[in-house]
Chains A and B, each alone.
Chain A
Amino acid sequence: AQSVTQLGSHVSVSEGALVLLRCNYSSSVPPYLFWYVQYPNQGLQLLLKYTSAATLVKGINGFEAEFKKSETSFHLTKPSAHMSDAAEYFCAVSERGTYKYIFGTGTRLKVLA
């Protein structure tokens, strides 16, 4: 069965520091992988997605993620955090041939001035 694990329910970084949000997945076949961001009182917004093209995926707002099959990981990074990045981030997996996501439990990012 598919699953996704996000390590760290809360992450704090200083403004200008590297952002690293971890996501590991479990799937019997190479999956599709996604990162979504949720700002307070808003719906989820797609940051980026991996669908079997390049393993390094660039998304919006300067975020990127690298698919590492050997580590079953899809960690989200941003070189320099901005105050506006404070939000909750969800990793999601979908097995090819299915039509739905399995979401992780989310990581709340706090950016310190």
Chain B
Amino acid sequence: EAGVAQSPRYKIIEKRQSVAFWCNPISGHATLYWYQQILGQGPKLLIQFQNNGVVDDSQLPKDRFSAERLKGVDSTLKIQPAKLEDSAVYLCASSLGLEISYGYTFGSGTRLTVV
């Protein structure tokens, strides 16, 4: 089966610019996650979707980050405006459903550098 696809793989932007990341989950996976992984830290959940509805966005900095999952398939994560501390790898993951024991399948991530 095809994995979780993410693009772009790398992105360098200046602070205060905007950027968008795209994720295509595994076909049939209802649950989609965006994680932020700062260098030297474990991934931190930003937002979780179940189909096209938001389950958890409690750690999403909503003043600058936004995400959507139209039609319950692909998802985009946007940062506007970017700050230096947003430099990180942004990982998308998908799962069959909300049951955590399923485990996630992660994409390869988008490495963002804000200069």
Residues of chain B within 8 A of A104, CB atoms compared: 42
Q: Does B107 contact A (CB under 8 A)?
A: yes
Q: Which A residues are CB-close (under 8 A) to B40?
A: 9, 105-106
Contact B100 A98 (CB under 8 A): yes
User: Which 10 residue pairs are nearest across A and B when measured between Cβ atoms?
Assistant: A103-B42, A43-B106, A51-B101, A94-B100, A44-B106, A46-B103, A99-B98, A43-B108, A103-B43, A100-B45
Q: Is the CB of B48 within 8 A of A42?
A: no
Interface residues on B, range: 20 to 34
B79 at the interface (CB under 8 A from A): no
* Distance A94 CA – B109 CA, assembled complex (angstroms): 22
B103 and A43 form a contact (CB under 8 A): no
On whether the beta carbons of B100 and A100 are closer than 8 Å, the reply is: yes
Q: How far is the CA of A44 from the CA of B93 in the complex (A)?
A: 9
Q: Given that A41-B108, A44-B106, A99-B48 are known contacts, is A106 also in contact with B100, CB under 8 Å in the complex?
A: no
Which partner residue on chain B sits nearest A39 by CB separation? B108
> In the complex, what residue of chain B is closest to A94 when comparing beta carbons?
B100
Q: Please state if A105 and B98 are interface contacts (CB–CB under 8 Å).
A: no
Residues of chain B from 78 to 115 with CB closer than 8 A to chain A in the complex = 91, 93, 98, 100-101, 103-109, 111
Helix, strand, loop or mixed for chain A's interface? loop
- For A9, A98, A103, the residue with the greatest tally of chain B CB atoms inside 10 Å of its CB is A103
Does B26 belong to the interface (CB within 8 Å)? no
Q: Is B4 an interface residue (CB 8 A)?
A: yes
* Inter-chain contacts of A103 with B (CB < 8 A): 42-44
Contact, CB under 8 Å: A90 / B43: yes
Residues of chain A with a CB closer than 8 A to B56's CB: 99-100
By a CB distance below 8 angstroms, the chain A residues around B91 are 43-44
How many Å from the CB of B43 to the closest CB on chain A? 5
Name the A residues within 8 Å of B93 (CB-CB).
43-44
> What's the minimum C-beta distance from B77 to chain A, rounded to whole angstroms?
15
A sample of 25 cross-chain residue pairs with beta-carbon separation below 8 angstroms, ordered by A number, consists of A32-B100, A34-B103, A41-B111, A43-B107, A44-B91, A46-B103, A49-B101, A49-B103, A90-B43, A94-B100, A98-B100, A99-B48, A99-B55, A99-B98, A99-B100, A100-B33, A100-B48, A100-B56, A101-B43, A101-B100, A101-B104, A103-B42, A103-B44, A105-B42, A106-B41
